[in-house]
């Protein structure tokens, strides 16, 4: 059974009910909706469709809405793609006429000319195309193409001089966040986070009561790397966004940064997603390159909780094949022994120490006794989170009556979310948990199981007990 989770981005290739059903059936654990593309109503409809299809398939599938952030983008290109040749001149304009071509394209940065200086490099298509500034002409900027390539509509644009001065949470982000909250999504991705305060600012805008979406800051700026510890502490989960990170700093640094970010997230007990170009060749080919297979496997060996597909499933020709390939590679890599981290050793909050110690004891007891599975009845998801952080060799079931809780567990390494009926009686809750695990095929009659739970009743976050029982 694969423990590493797969996040798949939905786009034109996978938005129809049948194509989305196939994407989920192929093994997608979390669907990503990119708010930088399409309108909020479309994303809201897609979120609802994911829920409905997951229910039909008898699965729990999480929904992640990725806020657009202040990312600068190019405008619409006629025919959706145009080839820029090295050495040609190319004009950037702040007037989006929707008719970009081989000679010009709009940008979303209204004061582009203010930030562009003669000799500056501007990166288009997330770094694939490089322009060099020749001069400003009014509000437009005339450039020379120093590295050509294919430019598609609304691709990322990087102006190093401007990016440190742009607000990380925009009015567009606020609208997307409102949609995400209304749609009851499980995760919200935060783009171009620079410091912990950026995460807390968004958290202050979430509802004060009830279950709220988990916040997933994306590490994709040099400043975020400098403030990494604080961001991880403020986050519910973290994404290693390697594309923009590889533009913000030398690409050679990204592999080691990936390992360090994953290590720190593992120690903090925070889920971490590794993203960008993982199987990019499968956008056009039914098979990945050997280098891509190695990349996916190494992310798993690094300790990532989840792997993310972007264009592969949003606009690719082989979205389902990409999910299945990633699943096969991840499961294979999971068979390789790796050093276990000890999140409990780094937890600073006194209020968490009992819960972390109980989770650690449960994993140790489970492996010493050869139990079939660790069952975590939970009202908040925290118990399953903590158990998973120790990377046990036996299956983990996160069991709850609340679908939002189960959705939040869809990103967590090794956790299979299971639904049970609401019941305030502790004994009945444990009985229902065992029955759900048996129905899911996780345990069989005669197996030993470890139950990890809170004896304090309905209060969330009260994990303090481990019980070993024979089914």
CA 421 to chain centre: 29
- Count of positions (residues) in the chain: 471
Residue 54 and residue 57: Cα distance in Å, rounded? 5
DSSP three-state, residue 103? coil
Name the nearest CA neighbour of 43 among 55, 53, 33, 51.
33
Q: What are phi and psi of 417, to 5 degrees?
A: -75, 135
Tokens representing residue 383 in the block: 């118990």
Which residue in the list 28, 60, 107, 276 is annotated as catalytic?
276
Packing angle of the helix pair 40-57, 17-25 (nearest 10 deg): 50
Residue 273 and residue 326: Cα distance in Å, rounded? 14
Tokens representing residue 47 in the block: 């979120």
Residue 365 and residue 42: Cα distance in Å, rounded? 47
Q: Quote the Cα angle for 57-60-65, to 5°.
A: 115
Q: Which DSSP string corresponds to 54-81?
A: HHHHT---EEEEE--TT-EEB--BGGGE
Cα dihedral 118→248→298→317 (10° resolution): -60
* 88 sits in which H/E element: none
Which residue in the list 5, 21, 73, 386 is annotated as catalytic?
73
Name the nearest CA neighbour of 106 among 165, 147, 154.
154
Strand 72-73 and strand 81-84: pairing?
A: unpaired
For this structure, is 28 an active site residue?
A: no
Strand partners, 460: none
Name the nearest CA neighbour of 323 among 8, 1, 4.
8
Name the nearest CA neighbour of 31 among 59, 10, 3, 54.
10
For this structure, is 218 an active site residue?
A: yes
Strand partners, 108: none
Residue 194 and residue 225: Cα distance in Å, rounded? 8
Which residue in the list 71, 194, 218, 242 is annotated as catalytic?
218
Burial (Cβ within 10 Å: 0-12, 13-18, ≥19) of residue 5 = buried
Residue 202 and residue 190: Cα distance in Å, rounded? 8
For this structure, is 276 an active site residue?
A: yes
Task: Cite the active site residues.
Answer: 32, 73, 218, 276
């Amino acid at each position: 059974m694969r423990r590493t989770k797969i996040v798949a981005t939905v786009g034109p290739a996978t938005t129809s009910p049948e194509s989305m059903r196939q994407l989920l059936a192929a093994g997608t654990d979390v669907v990503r909706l990119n708010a930088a593309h399409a309108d909020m109503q479309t994303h809201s409809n897609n979120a609802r469709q994911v829920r409905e299809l997951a229910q039909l398939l008898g699965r729990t599938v999480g929904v992640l809405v990725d806020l657009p952030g202040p990312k600068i983008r190019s405008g619409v290109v006629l025919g959706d793609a145009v080839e820029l040749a090295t050495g040609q001149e190319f004009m950037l304009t702040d007037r989006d006429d929707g008719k970009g071509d081989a000679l010009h394209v709009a940008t979303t940065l209204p004061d582009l000319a203010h930030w562009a200086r003669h000799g500056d490099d501007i990166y288009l298509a997330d770094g694939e195309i490089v322009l060099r500034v020749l001069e400003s002409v009014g509000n437009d900027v005339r450039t020379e193409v120093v590295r050509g390539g294919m430019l598609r509509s609304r691709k990322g644009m990087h102006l190093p001089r401007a990016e440190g001065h742009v607000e990380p949470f925009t009015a567009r982000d606020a609208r997307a966040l409102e949609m995400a909250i209304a749609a009851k999504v499980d995760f919200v991705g935060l783009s171009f986070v620079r410091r912990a305060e950026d995460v807390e600012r968004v958290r202050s805008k979430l509802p004060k009561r009830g279950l709220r979406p988990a916040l997933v800051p994306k590490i994709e700026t040099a400043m975020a790397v400098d403030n990494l510890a604080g961001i991880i502490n403020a986050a519910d989960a973290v994404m290693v966004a390697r594309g923009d990170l590889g533009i913000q700093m030398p690409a050679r640094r990204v592999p080691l940064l990936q390992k360090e970010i994953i290590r720190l997230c593992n120690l903090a007990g925070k889920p971490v997603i590794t993203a960008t170009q993982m199987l990019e060749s499968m956008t056009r080919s039914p098979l990945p390159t050997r280098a891509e297979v190695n990349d996916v496997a190494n992310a798993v060996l690094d300790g990532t909780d989840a792997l993310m597909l972007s264009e592969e499933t949003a606009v690719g020709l082989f979205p389902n094949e990409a999910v299945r390939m990633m699943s096969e590679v991840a499961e294979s890599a999971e068979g390789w022994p790796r050093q276990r981290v000890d999140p409990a050793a780094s937890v600073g909050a006194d209020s968490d120490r009992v819960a972390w110690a109980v989770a650690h004891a449960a994993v140790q007891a489970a492996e010493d006794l050869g139990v079939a599975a660790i069952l975590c009845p939970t009202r908040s998801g925290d118990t399953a989170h903590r158990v998973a952080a120790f990377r046990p060799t036996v299956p983990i079931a996160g069991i709850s009556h609340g679908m939002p809780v189960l959705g939040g567990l869809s990103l967590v390494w090794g956790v299979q979310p299971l639904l049970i009926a609401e019941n305030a009686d502790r004994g009945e809750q444990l009985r229902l948990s065992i029955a759900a695990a048996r129905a899911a095929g996780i345990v069989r009659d005669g197996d030993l199981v470890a139950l990890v739970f809170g004896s304090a009743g309905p209060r969330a976050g009260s994990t303090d007990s481990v019980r070993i029982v024979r089914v």
